[in-house]
Amino acid sequence: MSMDMSRYLGLFLSEASEHLEGLGRDLVQLEREGAPAVVDSMFRHAHSVKGMASSMGFESIAVLAHRVEDLVDAIRQDPSRLERTLVDLLLSATDVMLAQVRCVADNKPPEDASALLGQLADRVSRLTGQAPAATRVLPRLSAEESAPPAAPPPAPAKESVASSATAQLTSSVAKAVKAQGESKPSPRWTVRLRIAPTCQTPGVRAFLMHKRLVGLGTLHDLRPGLDDLKAGRIPEGSIQLELETAETEEGIRKALRNVAEVELVSLTPVVPVAPAQVAATVVQAEASRAVSTGADGARTVRVRTELLDHFLDTVGELLLATARLRELGKVLPEGSRPPIEEGVYRLHTLVKDLHDKVMSARMTPLSLITDRLPRAARDIARRKEREVDLVITGAEIELDRAILDELADPLLHLLRNCIDHGLEPPDERVAAGKAPRGRVVVSVRRARDRVVLEMEDDGRGMNAAKLKAAAVARGVLAPEAAARMTDREAFMLACLPGVSTAKDISEISGRGVGMDAVKRVVENVGGTLEIESELGRGSRFTLKLPLTVAVVQLLLVAVGEEVFGLPIAKVVGATEADGELLERTRQMPLLPHGQGLLPVYALDQLVGVEAPPRKGVRPFVVMEGDAGRVALAVDRLVGQEEAVLKPLSRPLDLLPGLSGVTILGSGRPVFILDVPRLLSA
């Protein structure tokens, strides 16, 4: 028998990664809380990975998972056996298995884990008094290979272990292969039935019919499904199924004859197919069920993010086309305008509804990235000899998948900073009157149309005066500007490259090393970063994020004949002033704003657009910059617009200061500016 298992590789990679991440997460939780229920979860994760890897023929992963399973089972028998070095060993095994899964994805040979296997086997022997059992692995089969069926992997130690989707797949493969070799399947019949339209209880009749047929043999491909049948959800009263039975045609007809209000439409024998096709069909059905039914029974399906990106891009184009139609309708004669406007309004409503549904499909819980933080916090704390409690709340709140993908690294960097430089060593904390264990709180909440993510530590805090001095010393800030800065503005200096007050810049983190990247990523997705801190009390990093990056609110401004878009999230305000009357320092005009003065930049000079000299009163847009607020001198304010953001393609994406492009309803393309990058270019 030949069977191409490569078609299930994507399923294996996805599920194995999820199980291994879950195993690492459970280990950290078990060490911290000692919850016995977590051990069962760990065992399920390890057992699932072993079963999946075994069925796919990935021996190195299967053997490693088997050793981990043995150790976890030993812990389950006696939780007192769990100690820190054992957790370290299990976490190392988890990391190695994850690396091996990535090697499989990259079609590379897995790294050698013989030393780790020896350590695991030694621990298993010491804890159980028995040598670990050998791992049985199915031979790898491909379309080009043909090998005899292998025996299924050994049964789990506990019958209560919940089988994973892939374990079900493996079991089905084994059953199909076994059935092929040992017995000849019974004949199959295609049965079509119809519930009478006048039937008052279609669900009851359908269930009776189901019960009669189950008594004759095995049902396959039942449509609608049994739950729908019981609920009476039977479109047009039509039911179709395949019945595998040794009963004769007359026997089947007789069984259905006495079910009132159910009519047998047709009963035809199924043409026999090759055994190999039977097995493949079973496997495919099992794989399909694995991806369409979640643990809670909800019907779901895995969709590639690239496909969702394509949907969103297409819907964005539809929105732009609708806006274009609306603009064209405005130039039509007065009499023909109403029906056109009504049609465009209807079209816009439908496209907007479609856009909202696509966006909903892309929404993903923040737990996708916050679930990795406990393990990272443990590792950093151990390396820096800190004690830390990590508390995460609100991780169930959803955000656009595209934003989550960008936030994973910045969030990890903030955590490293909080533990490495924020939290004091235990003895220093005790001397300062604090608990020896530090505390880092990650909280997420919805605030209208934005998501607010805060990461707060109760460490030593940041020194605004030292940050100002560091920025002045590096020449990125004038002493006069530093003197005018508030503490809150000074904390943002930590996001300038190279500005740090940390005594030692470790390999883990350092204020000013990477914080600029954090700020850049947050702003690139349309969010903002704020830093608050108090000496001796700790620091708080606040990320205010949009729900999606596809639609942005823009302030349109014009210089000369060109129009540019400024993200509203970065705009503080707008004002008018006579440019000739502004104060100046070092040839830099200064705009009075609030209690201070802001440096003024002419937008036409920044973007290299020719504009006639402007005298007298003109508008200025106040925006957030890397080193504080700045004012942009523009020729006029065009207005505010909700725009569909389109990424830039080569070579435009190489130009600094451009973050994207959109198309107005008039058909005019408008570049969206990244002002901080424009100023630093």
Amino acid at 524: N
| 543 pLDDT more than 90 | yes
Q: Quick one: pLDDT at residue 533? A: 92
Of 435 and 273, the structure prediction assigns the larger pLDDT to 435
CA dist 636 and 657 (Å) reads 20
Confidence of residue 297 (pLDDT cuts 50, 70, 90): very low
What average pLDDT does this structure show over 484-501?
79
What average pLDDT does this structure show over 124-139?
70
Confidence of residue 445 (pLDDT cuts 50, 70, 90): very high
Q: Quick one: pLDDT at residue 299? A: 61
| 144 pLDDT more than 60 | no
**Span 202-247, pLDDT tens digits:** 777 787 787 778 777 777 778 887 777 777 778 778 888 888 887 7
Q: Quick one: pLDDT at residue 393? A: 93
Phi, psi of 361 (to 5 degrees): -65, -25
- Sheet arrangement for strand 238-245: 217-223, 238-245, 188-195, 262-269
Q: Quick one: pLDDT at residue 139? A: 58
How far is CA 78 from its chain centroid? 36
CA distances from 635 to 225, 231, 306, 557 (A): 65, 66, 41, 8
Q: Quick one: pLDDT at residue 236? A: 76
| 198 pLDDT more than 60 | yes
Q: With pLDDT > 70 as the criterion, what percentage of the chain qualifies? A: 82
Report DSSP state, residue 617.
E
Alpha helices in 108-247 (DSSP H): 114-128, 165-182, 202-214, 226-231
CA dist 565 and 661 (Å) reads 8
Q: Quick one: pLDDT at residue 162? A: 40
Confidence of residue 153 (pLDDT cuts 50, 70, 90): very low
Residues 197, 207 contacting (CB under 8 angstroms)? no
Confidence of residue 302 (pLDDT cuts 50, 70, 90): confident
- Sheet arrangement for strand 528-534: 388-393, 438-447, 450-457, 538-546, 528-534
Q: Quick one: pLDDT at residue 158? A: 41
Phi, psi of 365 (to 5 degrees): -60, 145
CA dist 573 and 596 (Å) reads 14
Which residues sit opposite 304 in a β-bridge?
none
| 463 pLDDT more than 70 | yes
| 266 pLDDT more than 70 | yes
| 424 pLDDT more than 80 | yes
| 578 pLDDT more than 50 | yes
Mean pLDDT estimate for the chain: 78
Instruction: Name which of 125-139, 176-190, 616-630 the model is least confident about.
Output: 176-190
What average pLDDT does this structure show over 625-633?
81
Residues 344, 422 contacting (CB under 8 angstroms)? no
b/e code 112-137 from CB counts within 10 Å (16+ = b): ebeebbeebbebbeebbeeebeebeb
Instruction: Name which of 15-19, 145-149, 515-519, 638-642 the model is least confident about.
Output: 145-149
Q: Quick one: pLDDT at residue 279? A: 42
Confidence of residue 5 (pLDDT cuts 50, 70, 90): low
Of 136 and 316, the structure prediction assigns the larger pLDDT to 316
b/e code 434-453 from CB counts within 10 Å (16+ = b): beeebbbbbbbeeeeebbbb
Q: With pLDDT > 90 as the criterion, what percentage of the chain qualifies? A: 11
Confidence of residue 87 (pLDDT cuts 50, 70, 90): confident
- Start-to-end CA distance of the chain, whole Å, equals 63
**Span 363-393, pLDDT tens digits:** 888 988 888 899 889 888 888 888 899 999 9
| 86 pLDDT more than 50 | yes
Confidence of residue 439 (pLDDT cuts 50, 70, 90): very high
Most confident of 74-88, 101-115, 494-508, 531-545: 531-545
| 315 pLDDT more than 60 | yes
Q: Quick one: pLDDT at residue 442? A: 95
CA dist 51 and 15 (Å) reads 11
CA dist 116 and 276 (Å) reads 39
CA dist 396 and 377 (Å) reads 20
Q: Coil, strand or helix: which one is 289?
A: helix
Q: Quick one: pLDDT at residue 115? A: 84
What average pLDDT does this structure show over 465-484?
82
Residues 172, 282 contacting (CB under 8 angstroms)? yes
b/e code 608-628 from CB counts within 10 Å (16+ = b): eeebeebeeebbbbbbbbbbb
What average pLDDT does this structure show over 9-34?
83
Q: Quick one: pLDDT at residue 391? A: 93
Q: Quick one: pLDDT at residue 538? A: 92
| 177 pLDDT more than 50 | no
CA dist 90 and 67 (Å) reads 10
Confidence of residue 356 (pLDDT cuts 50, 70, 90): confident
| 503 pLDDT more than 60 | no
**Span 662-680, pLDDT tens digits:** 888 777 888 988 887 788 7
| 426 pLDDT more than 80 | yes
Give the per-residue SS3 of 139-150.
Answer: CCCCCCCCCCCC
Q: Quick one: pLDDT at residue 622? A: 92
In total, the chain counts a number of residues equal to 681
**Nearest-CA neighbor of 598 among 484, 448, 433?**
484
